[in-house]
């Protein structure tokens, strides 16, 4: 009887091939995972912005002010989870309260639409800025009160710059009644 003492294992070449394949998969997959995480972290923007715009609309109906008066009252205001803004919208509309653990501060811009589907109505453009606890601290997202089908827009939200890890609006396109810089415009960009 003979015993076979030959040991089996992987060769160095085989190990190098496997490590290379794992490296390639990681190089492709990791940026996509971070992009997905940033995209999912912006879900709260749609909810918060809808709360803000609905609160302002309710205020407008209850006070029966003109569209121009509402525009003047809310343009330049802010909404923050900790009410730290110097021009908080909650001083005008107390019902607007954001969750205390929110990840974004909102700058509100309003204008009376002169053209497009919302002509004569007040339309809003909110610029959300990531707080220190956000996926991209200082990252920007645009929200339009009117949905858009323009490139980079997902209905009411343009998160292109944020998903790409930017702290400015580089790469954002105009949509709804928002400019690419996040300001309300009187005409619809679609």
DSSP assignments along 2-45, one per residue: ----------HHHHHHHHHHHHHHHHHHHHHHHHHHHHHHTHHH
Q: What pLDDT does residue 100 have?
A: 93
Q: What pLDDT does residue 3 have?
A: 61
DSSP assignments along 78-137, one per residue: EE-TT---TTBGGGT-TT----TT-SEEEEEEEEE--SSTTTTSEEEEEEEEE-TTSSST
DSSP 182: S
Query: Does 150 reside within a domain?
Result: yes
Average pLDDT over residues 94-110: 94
Average pLDDT over residues 40-52: 91
Distance CA 7, CA 12 (A): 15
Average pLDDT over residues 176-181: 95
Q: What pLDDT does residue 6 have?
A: 66
Number of folded domains that form the chain: 1
Residue found under tokens 């009376």 = 112
- First vs last Cα of the chain: how many Å apart? 84
Q: What pLDDT does residue 5 have?
A: 64
Cα–Cα distances (Å) from 23 to 14, 29, 33, 34, 145, in that order, read: 14, 10, 15, 17, 43
Contact present, 174 and 185 (Cβ < 8 Å) = yes
Query: Does 146 reside within a domain?
Result: yes
Assess whether pLDDT exceeds 70 at residue 2. Answer: no
pLDDT-based confidence at 123, cuts 50/70/90? very high
Query: Does 8 reside within a domain?
Result: no
Query: Does 85 reside within a domain?
Result: yes
Assess whether pLDDT exceeds 60 at residue 22. Answer: yes
Q: What pLDDT does residue 1 have?
A: 57
Query: Does 140 reside within a domain?
Result: yes
Assess whether pLDDT exceeds 90 at residue 33. Answer: no
Average pLDDT, the chain: 91
Nearest to 36 by CA among 135, 158, 126: 135
Query: Does 90 reside within a domain?
Result: yes
Q: What pLDDT does residue 31 have?
A: 78
Query: Does 179 reside within a domain?
Result: no
pLDDT digits (tens, 9 = 90+) for 62-80: 999 999 999 999 999 999 9
Q: What pLDDT does residue 29 have?
A: 82
185: Cα separation from own chain's centroid: 19
pLDDT digits (tens, 9 = 90+) for 103-119: 999 999 999 999 999 99
> Which residues pair with residue 87 across a beta bridge?
none
For residue 107, what are the domain limits? 42-163
Distance CA 30, CA 115 (A): 44
Contact present, 152 and 140 (Cβ < 8 Å) = no
Burial 170-188 (b: 16+ CB within 10 A, else e): eebbbbbbbbbebbbbeeb
Assess whether pLDDT exceeds 90 at residue 19. Answer: yes
SS3 call for 58 = helix
Average pLDDT over residues 155-182: 93
Q: What pLDDT does residue 8 have?
A: 79
Query: Does 120 reside within a domain?
Result: yes
């Amino acid at each position: 009887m003979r015993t076979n003492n030959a040991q089996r294992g992987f060769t160095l070449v085989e190990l190098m091939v496997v490590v290379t394949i794992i490296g390639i998969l990681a190089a492709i997959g990791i940026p996509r995972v971070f992009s997905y995480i940033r995209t999912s972290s912006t879900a709260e923007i749609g909810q918060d912005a809808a709360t803000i715009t609905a609160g302002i609309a309710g205020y407008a109906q209850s006070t029966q002010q003109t569209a121009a008066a509402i525009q003047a009252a809310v343009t330049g205001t802010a909404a923050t989870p900790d009410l730290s803004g110097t021009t908080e919208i909650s001083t005008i509309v107390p019902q607007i309260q954001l969750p205390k653990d929110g990840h974004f501060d909102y700058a509100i811009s309003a204008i009376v639409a002169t053209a497009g589907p919302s002509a004569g109505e007040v339309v809003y453009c909110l610029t959300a800025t990531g707080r220190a606890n956000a996926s991209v601290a200082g990252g920007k997202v645009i929200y339009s009160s009117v949905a858009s089908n323009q490139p980079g827009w997902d209905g009411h939200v343009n998160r292109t710059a944020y998903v790409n890890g930017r702290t400015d609006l580089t790469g954002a396109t105009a949509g709804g009644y928002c400019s690419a810089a996040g300001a309300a415009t009187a005409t619809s960009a679609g």
